[in-house]
Chains A and B, each alone.
Chain A
Amino acid sequence: MNAKNPSAQPLRRLGDWWEGVVLGYSKRSRPAKIGIGALFALFFYALPLLRPPIITTNDIDFGGVLFSSAAFALVALGLNIVIGYAGLLDLGYVGFYATGAYTTGVLTSQHWHWPFFLALPVAIAVTMVTGVILGAPTLRVRGDYLAIVTLGFGEIIRLVVTNVGWLGASAGIKDIPHPNNIGPAPEPPFHPGGLFAIPRLQWDGFIPSIDHTPVHQTHFLVFGALDAIPYYWLVLTALVAVFLGDRLIKASRVGRAWEATREDEDAAELMGVPTFRYKLLAFALGAAIGGLSGSLYASSQGGYINPQSFPLLLSMLFVAAVIVGGSGNRWGAIAGGVLVAYLPERFRGFSDYRLLAFGIALMVLAIWRPQGLFPSTRARRAKAAEAEIDELEEGAAHV
C-alpha cells in the first residue's frame, strides 16, 4: 500500500507492521477479537509481576513507573478526545487534573472523610461541570485564543489552590486515604492483609524464577504505602474502561460530528451538525477523564497533593504526549503518554537533561514528523493517498 520509497524510514516499516497487525486483528470474528483483547489486557495486568528484562527499571520501583505511565496514558487518552478528535487545542488540561485531585482531597481528607470510591465519581462530576462552565463561553473563540484561554485557566486553578486556605494553600492536602482494600486490612508488622499474596518473577539474565521474598509479594488487594502495583491495576482498569468507551463513542455519529467539525466547521454546520454542542461534549468528556486521573493520583501512594504538583509544564507534557503519539489516534495517545512518563524514568541517569531532550524532541518531531509517531487512521490514509499521487506523477513524468 505504501510507495516503495527508497528512503523508507524504520518508522514507516514499524507503521506498516502495526497496520498489518491491526488488519489481521480486524479480520477475526467478534468472539476472537474479544479473546485477543482480553489476553492483551491480561498481559499488561501481569506486567509488573512478570518484570521482563530490559523493560523493567531496576533502579526505580517498576510498579511505580508503570503506575505513572498508565496514569499519563489515561490523561493522554482524555486529552486526545479534546485535541485529536474535536481539534480543540487545550493548553491547560492540568487544571482538570488538579480539580479532580483537589475535589478528592477535600472530600476525603481536608473537610470531610468520605471513602475514596465515593469521592471518585463526585470528583469526576465536579470536573466535568467545570469543563462545561469553562467551555461554554470559550469554545466560541478562535483556535489560537482557545489555547491561551485554557492556559490561563490552568494557571488560575493552580494559583487559586495555592492561595486559598480552605483548599490547603501552599501546604497542600495530606492524608488522603488510599482506595478501599479488598480483604482484611493490613496489620503491621506481621499481617500484610488482603485475600492472598501474589509473588513476582525475578530474572537471571534471561532465565526467570519465582521471587519468594515476602516483601516482594503483592497482596490482593491492599492499597498500601509500599507496593505500587495495586494502584497500577486500578489505573489500568480505568484506562481500559475509558479506552472502550472512547471506541464506542468515536464509532458513532458523535465521532463523525467531531471529525467533520475538525475538517471544515462551517460545512459541517451547514450539513446539520450542531458543532458547538459536540465541541462542548468533547471538552466535557476530556474534563471528566482529567478529573478521573487527578482523583486517582490524589489517592495514590503519597496521599498528598500540593499546588506544585500541577505546574504549566504538566499541561505541556500532556499535550506533547498526545501530539507525539499521533493526534487523533487513541493508541498513539497511550503510546505517547507512556513514552513521556516512562522514558525519563528509564533513563534516570540523564534526568537532568530530560527537559532539554524533551524540548529538542518536540522541535524535531514538529519539523520532521508532525503527524506523530502513530498517526491517526485518517492521517495515514491521507498520507497513503498523497504517496500514491506522487507515484502517479512520477510515473507520468517518465512517460
Chain B
Amino acid sequence: MSEQTKTIAAPADKLLEVDDVTIKFGGLTALDSVTFDIKRGEILGLIGPNGAGKTTCFNVMTGVYQATSGQVRLDGKPLAKMKRHEITRLGMARTFQNIRLFKSMTVLENVMVGADANSKVGFLNALFRTPLHRRTESAAKARARELLDLVGIKADDSELAANLSYGDQRRLEIARAMATEPKLLCLDEPAAGFNPAEKQRLMELIRKVRDAGYTVLLIEHDMRLVMGVTDRIVVLEFGRKIAEGTPAEIRDNPAVIAAYLGVEEDDDAAS
C-alpha cells in the first residue's frame, strides 16, 4: 500500500537523520542509541507503547531537547542548540497533541502566523506600508486560504479559532504548520479524539499533504491509522528502537507484537 508514487524522482534522499541519539535526564535514560532516517517525501510513523520515549524522541528531533550524545541532522545540517523559532525556519513544523491554537485569533490569522515565519518584512515596512509589505501580506493571505482549502476547513476566515469544531481545530493546526513551508511536517497524535470516519478523513488528508510535496512524521497510537497511511514505521520500546520497516513487516514482527502484547486492533483506548 505504501508503494505509492513518490513525487520525488531522485533516489530516496535522507531528509532527517537521527544518528545514535541518547538522552539522559539525570539517572533516567529516556532514549538509548536511537538511529533511523526519514526519507524525503515519505510518511514515517513513530510508534511504541506508552512510556517508550516517542514524545522525547519527537522533542529531540524537533530541537526542543538537546541530545546527551548523538546528533540529529536536517538535510545534512546538524541541529545545534538553537532557538525554537530558528528550527522552524530551518524547515521543521509540528502540531500538538493537546491542540495549541491561538484561540482568540481568527482561522485565517492562525494560518498567517505560520506563513509569517518566512516573511522578510519587519515593522518599518509595516509602518510605511511599502510595496514589499503589501505583496507579502496578500501572498500570505492567499497561501493561507489555499491551505485552509487543502485541509478542508469550510468555516469562515474570520471565525475565531476557539469556535471551530474539534475536527476543524485539528485540521487548522495542520494548516498552520504547513504555512511555515516546512520540509518536514511532524504530526503529534493528530487523531486523538477522532471517530473512525474522521480518522479516515485524516488519513486522506495526510496522503494529500504528502502528495503536495511534504515529508511527514506521524506519532500515533491508533494502529489501523498508522498501518494504513505510513510508508515506513519505526518502533520504540523503553527508549530503544526495536524495529523498523514497512507496515507489513512491522505487523508480523514478533518483537513488536510482544511489546504491544498483540493489541493491534482498534487501539483507541490508549489516548
Contacts and interface: CB of A to CB of B under 8 A. Distances in A.
Q: Do A and B bind each other?
A: yes
Given A248-B128, A381-B160, 5 more contacts: A249-B127, A259-B105, A269-B85, A273-B116, A382-B103
B140 to A, nearest CB: 8
Contact of A272 (B102, B116, B121, B137): B116
Interface in A207-259: 245, 248-249, 251-254, 256-257, 259
Nearest to B102: A263
A394 B133 CA distance: 46
B7 interface: no
Contacts of B128: 248
A75 B240 CA distance: 58
Contacts of B160: 378, 381-382, 385
Nearest to B161: A263
Contacts of B127: 245, 248-249
Given A271-B114, A382-B160, A252 B137 contact: yes
Q: What band does the interface of chain B fall in when counting residues whose beta carbon is under 8 Å from A?
A: 35 or more
B250 interface: no
A59 interface: no
Nearest to A384: B160
A259 B102 contact: yes
A385 B113 contact: no
B123 A275 contact: no
A270 interface: yes
Q: What band does the interface of chain A fall in when counting residues whose beta carbon is under 8 Å from B?
A: 20 to 34
Of the candidates A248, A256, A259, A274, the one having the most CB atoms from chain B within 10 angstroms of its own CB is: A256
Interface in B24-60: none
B105 A263 contact: yes
Closest 4 pairs (CB-CB, A-B): A272-B117, A252-B126, A272-B88, A267-B100
B176 interface: yes
B96 interface: yes
A387 to B, nearest CB: 12
B88 A253 contact: no
B129 interface: yes
Nearest to A285: B123
A74 interface: no
A270 B93 CA distance: 7
A151 to B, nearest CB: 27
A264 interface: yes
B85 A275 contact: yes
Interface string A1-27: 000000000000000000000000000
A252 B133 contact: yes
A317 interface: no
Contacts of A254: 122-123, 126
A139 interface: no
A259 B109 contact: yes
